[in-house]
Amino acid sequence: MTLVERFLKYVSFDTQSAEGTNVTPSTPGQMVFAQYLKSELESLGLQDVTLDEHGYLLATLPANTDRVVPTIGFIAHMDTSPDMSGQNVNPRIVHAYDGTDITLCAEESIILSPKQFPELLFHKGEDLIVTDGKTLLGADDKAGIAEIVSAMVYLMEHPEIKHGKIRIGFNPDEEIGLGAHKFNVDAFGCDWAYTMDGGEVGELEFENFNAASAKVTIQGRNVHPGYAKGKMINALLVAHKFISMLPAGERPEHTEGYEGFYHLVGLEGDVDHATLNYILRDHDRARFEQRKATMAHIADALNAELGEGTVTLDMHDQYYNMRQQIEPVMHVIDIAKEAMLAAGVTPRVQAIRGGTDGAQLSFKGLPCPNIFAGGLNFHGRFEFVPIQSMEKARDVIVKIAELTALR
Catalytic residues: 79, 174
Q: In whole angstroms, what is the distance from residue 48 CA to residue 66 CA? A: 20
Helix (H) or strand (E) holding 268: strand 261-269
User: Which residue type occupies 40?
Assistant: E
Strand blocks (E) in 78-209? 92-94, 102-105, 110-112, 128-130, 166-171, 192-198, 203-207
> Please, what's the b/e burial string for 383-396 (b: 16 or more CB within 10 A of its CB; e: otherwise)?
bbbbbebbbbbbbb
Q: In whole angstroms, what is the distance from residue 372 CA to residue 84 CA? A: 22
For the purposes of burial, counting CB atoms within 10 Å of the CB of 282, is it exposed (0-12), middle (13-18) or buried (19 or more)?
Answer: buried
User: What DSSP string runs through 57-96?
Assistant: EEEEE----SS----EEEEEE--B-TTS--TT---EEETT
Q: In whole angstroms, what is the distance from residue 61 CA to residue 83 CA? A: 35
Q: In whole angstroms, what is the distance from residue 89 CA to residue 276 CA? A: 33
- Rounded to 5 degrees, φ, ψ at 226 are -70, -20
